[in-house]
């Protein structure tokens, strides 16, 4: 099983949401070749969020071609329990689900771990950050959304960074991910707030030099981590 380094380090995970999905393998491999630490796969069901993307069959096809890269699925779905086994079977490494539609978050966390995946819990902008205290010991990562989930290319919500600051203060060794509108213009404030896992879609996918952008994002985070 592919695992992330347990040491707190900068990890850049491009979101393939805005990639050319008809050339998903080629686009994904290019991101990896350009220095991506992991791939962030946005799964949307058209219910929890209004958009619809792809499911486990596509993820499995991608895994059949890309053997060794860490896959995180960001499950923007109304019933995350329903897809645990199929995503595990598809070769997913981290199963990140939204807590908002879930009545028993610890149960989902345990089932994800039992399926052999690490656990990410995701918070929409309107969700208070302190709700994670009830299950943070079961999670490997907390994702703070810096846009409303569902569509790429939205404006970064800097007011969400107080959540990142709170998490870093209270859980200093926790992997904290930010997703939504993150790029060269917003990375510094994300890094200073305490995020170490960076999801970036449009800023990387659309860049003329993907490797340069990925390195710049990583360097910005590492410069803060090395100060602490």
Instruction: Tell me the H-state helices in the chain.
Output: 24-33, 56-65, 84-89, 105-114, 161-170, 187-193, 202-205, 210-225
Which region holds residue 107: left if phi is over 0, alpha if psi is between -120 and 50, else beta? alpha
Does the annotation count 179 as an active-site position?
yes
In tens, the pLDDT along 35-55 reads 999 999 999 998 999 888 999
Q: Provide the pLDDT for residue 6.
A: 58
The residue annotated as part of the active site, out of 42, 45, 140, 175, is 42
Q: Provide the pLDDT for residue 90.
A: 98
Residue 4 pLDDT grade (very low, low, confident, very high; cuts 50, 70, 90): low
Q: Provide the pLDDT for residue 28.
A: 97
CA 170, distance to chain mean position in Å, is: 20
Q: Which residues of 47-76 are buried (b: 16+ CB within 10 A; e: fewer)?
A: ebbeeebbbbeebeebbeebeebbbbbbbb
Structural domains of the chain, ranges and CATH numbers in brackets: 11-225 (3.20.20.70)
In tens, the pLDDT along 159-198 reads 999 999 999 999 999 999 999 999 999 999 999 999 999 9
pLDDT higher than threshold 90 for residue 138: yes
pLDDT higher than threshold 60 for residue 1: no
> Contact at 8 Å (CB) between 204 and 14?
yes
d(C-alpha 80, C-alpha 172), whole Å? 28
Tokens standing for residue 162: 């107080």
Does the annotation count 42 as an active-site position?
yes
Q: Is 8 helix (H, G, I), strand (E, B) or coil?
A: coil
Question: What residues contact 112, with CB distance under 8 A and at least 6 apart?
Answer: 84, 95, 97, 118, 119
Nearest to 129 by CA among 99, 149, 104, 85: 99
Q: Provide the pLDDT for residue 18.
A: 84
Average pLDDT, the chain: 94
d(C-alpha 11, C-alpha 36), whole Å? 8
Q: From residue 147, how far is each of 6, 39, 59, 123, 158 by CA, in Å?
A: 27, 19, 24, 10, 9
| Cα dihedral 149, 113, 7, 130 in deg (nearest 10) | 50
d(C-alpha 198, C-alpha 200), whole Å? 6
> Contact at 8 Å (CB) between 163 and 171?
no
pLDDT higher than threshold 90 for residue 7: no
In tens, the pLDDT along 74-131 reads 999 999 999 999 999 999 999 999 999 999 999 999 999 999 999 999 999 999 999 9
> Contact at 8 Å (CB) between 121 and 110?
no
The residue annotated as part of the active site, out of 79, 175, 179, 219, is 179
């Amino acid at each position: 099983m592919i695992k992330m380094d347990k040491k707190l380090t900068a990890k850049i995970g491009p979101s393939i949401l805005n990639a050319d999905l008809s050339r998903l393998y080629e686009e994904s491999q290019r991101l990896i070749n350009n220095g991506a630490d992991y791939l962030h796969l946005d799964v949307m069901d058209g219910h929890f969020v209004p958009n619809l993307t792809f499911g486990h069959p596509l993820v499995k096809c991608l895994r059949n071609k890309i053997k060794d890269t860490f896959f995180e699925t960001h499950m923007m779905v109304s019933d995350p329990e329903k897809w645990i086994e199929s995503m595990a079977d598809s070769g997913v490494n981290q199963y990140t689900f939204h807590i908002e539609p879930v009545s028993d978050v610890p149960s989902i966390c345990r089932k994800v771990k039992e399926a052999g995946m690490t656990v990410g819990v995701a918070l929409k902008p309107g969700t208070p950050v302190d709700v994670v205290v009830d299950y943070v010991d079961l999670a490997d990562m907390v994702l703070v959304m810096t846009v409303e989930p569902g569509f790429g290319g939205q404006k970064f919500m800097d007011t969400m960074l107080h959540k990142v600051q709170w998490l870093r203060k209270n859980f200093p060794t926790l992997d904290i991910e930010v997703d939504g509108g993150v790029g060269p213009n917003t990375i510094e404030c994300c890094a200073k707030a305490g995020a170490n896992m960076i999801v970036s879609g449009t800023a990387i996918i659309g860049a003329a030099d993907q490797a340069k952008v990925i390195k710049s994002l990583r360097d910005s985070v590492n410069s803060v981590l090395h100060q602490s």
